[in-house]
């Protein structure tokens, strides 16, 4: 499953990131394989989505979230 396919309230673990120009930047922000991410909310039109990871909240566009492969853990 990809991060853009998740629903509010889900908790997922990052498995991998697709190769892209954005990969290094996402990894610098803490989106690395093995990281636990909680899906907080999404905007009324579905884009962007709000995530909680490590010690902060992050808003991310769905186009960028589509590059991150995840597994649901709860």
Please state the domain extents for the chain.
Answer: 3-72
Model's pTM, two decimal places? 0.86
Q: What pLDDT is stored for residue 44 in this prediction?
A: 83
Question: What pLDDT does residue 72 have?
Answer: 96
Q: What pLDDT does 42 receive? A: 86
Over residues 18-40, mean pLDDT: 91
Q: Which residues of 19-57 are buried (b: 16+ CB within 10 A; e: fewer)?
A: eeeeeeebeeeebeeeeebbbeebeeeeebbebebeeee
**Residues 6+ positions from 45 with CB-CB distance below 8 Å:** none
**CATH 2.30.30.90 is right for the domain spanning 3-72:** yes
Rounded-to-integer distance, Cα 52 and Cα 71, Å: 16
């Amino acid at each position: 499953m990809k991060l853009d396919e998740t629903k509010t309230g889900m908790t997922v673990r990052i498995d991998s990131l697709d190769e892209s120009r954005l990969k290094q930047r996402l990894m610098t922000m803490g989106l690395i394989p093995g990281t636990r991410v909680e899906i907080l909310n999404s905007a009324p039109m579905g884009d962007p989505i709000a995530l909680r990871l490590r010690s902060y909240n992050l808003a991310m566009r769905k186009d960028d979230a589509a590059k991150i492969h995840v597994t649901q853990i709860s």
